[in-house]
Amino acid sequence: MPELDNLMDALGQLPTPALVVDGPTVRRNLQRLADYAANVGLNIRPHTKTHKSRRLVQMQLEAGAIGVTVAKASEAEAISDPGQDILMAYPPVGDSRAKRLAELAGDRNVRAAVDTLAAVHVASAAAVGSGTTVGLLVDLDVGMGRTGVPSPDATLPIAQAIDRAPGLRLDGIMVYPGHIWHTVDEQSAALQAVGNLIGETLELWARHGLQATIVSGGSTPTAYQSHLVGNLTEIRPGTYIFNDMNTVRGGFCTIEDCSARILATVVSDAVAGQVILDAGSKTLTNDRCIPAPDSGHGHIVEFAGAKITRLSEEHAQVDVTACSSKPAVGDRVTVIPNHICPCVNLRDEMWWCEPNDFPRHLMVNARGKVQ
């Protein structure tokens, strides 16, 4: 993000560590996905867990998104507005969670994903209690083994229960191909297998008089290969708006596509061959880089040869022995985290950067909204 580098003087005023975001790169990332989705006839329902910001929801909707995805009801409360279309890609289990979601359905089109009959019952009771209608998608596991029923056959009793239950509307099928971190060129077989499972499910449902108006899939690593699945109606990538070292080292984007960085200050160089940044695990998190677990705790843009070898809560230990020059105490650097989503969730604000302007304060509205 060359525009941001020109702003290092303005950034010099910000207390560190700080989350800085480059506006032009965000807009390019949004437009690129919008163009792809339009070309292949897919809707985009971005996962807002990455940015947790009302303003960025607006930008995504302006770029053509049909609605938003959240993980939790409290996130939906924090980042959505009346009239919007919201999918909670998460089971509405827990009385509080189901109730909050059902209440949002009073003036929004609210959907959630379920993989148990218990969740169907909780969602139905909450919708009836609130006098609203909640749409449900059946979560089908396509290989990640996290949530989702294990087979097309196993979707049927849940879909039928939704179809019969008061307060609910059967909306379709949700899959999450979170196990697919193959390089783009090698995703084809895995995505076609996902398509086959969905196809079987759709046929089974049709034989039982059930329809899926939504087939929701997609992740950032698979986003630009989503057409290979063959029967999706929408995709739900999240990270694509910012990108991070997971998506760079996975081969899904370049460093120049990373629109969010942590601005940090060198606070010590007392140990030989090492400098300390003021961004530790309470800023960068201890999330490893999925495609390169031994690559350290993020990438220092200005010192590409440096390696963040260890994080304490407030310290990053940086090995600078491979650097031709090293930063001095008091210098500022920017770090692209391994996984940007939990880093954003640690912050009250991000600093939005536009060329030739001072950084603007942007709230992380759903920071900490995990209920």
Could you report how far apart the first and last alpha carbons of the chain are, in Å?
A: 34
Q: Which of 15, 41, 82, 83 binds a copy of itself (CB under 8 A)?
A: 15
The residues in 74-93 that bind a copy of itself, with binding defined as CB under 8 A, are: 74, 90-91, 93
Using rule CB under 8 A, residue 314 touches a copy of itself: yes
41 in the Ramachandran plot: left (φ > 0), alpha (ψ -120 to 50) or beta?
A: left
Which residues, numbered 186-215, are part of the site for a copy of itself (CB under 8 A)? none
The answer to whether 123 and 136 have CB atoms below 8 angstroms apart is: yes
Q: Is 345 in the site for a copy of itself (CB under 8 A)?
A: yes
Q: Is 346 in the site for a copy of itself (CB under 8 A)?
A: yes
# residues near a copy of itself by CB under 8 A:
69
Instruction: Write down the least CB distance from residue 160 to a copy of itself, Å.
Output: 16
Residue 269 CA, chain-centre distance (Å), reads 35
Residue 168 backbone class (left: φ over 0; alpha: ψ -120 to 50; beta: rest): beta
For position 271 contacting a copy of itself by CB under 8 A, the verdict is yes
Nearer residue to a copy of itself within complex by CB, 178 or 230: 178
Rounded to 5°, angle at Cα 152 from 290 and 158: 105
* Torsion angles phi and psi, residue 361, rounded to 5: -80, 125
CB of 341 to a copy of itself, least distance (A): 6
Site for a copy of itself in 108-127 (CB under 8 A): 115-116, 118-119, 122
CB-based contacts of 242, cutoff 8 Å, min separation 6: 21, 26, 29, 50, 51, 258, 259, 260, 340, 344
Window 38-67: contact mask with a copy of itself (x via CB under 8 A): -----------x------------------
Among 87, 149, 223, 248, the residue binding a copy of itself under the rule CB under 8 A is 149
State the pairing for strand pair 109-114/85-88.
parallel
- Which residues ranging from 274 to 303 are in contact with a copy of itself (CB under 8 A)? 274, 276, 278-283, 285-288
Please identify, using beta-carbon distances, which residue of 208 and 282 lies nearer to a copy of itself: 282
Chain residues in the site for a copy of itself (CB under 8 A):
14-18, 49, 71-72, 74, 90-91, 93-94, 96-97, 115-116, 118-119, 122, 139, 141, 145-150, 154, 178, 265-272, 274, 276, 278-283, 285-288, 310, 312-315, 317, 328-330, 341-342, 345-348, 367-368, 370-371
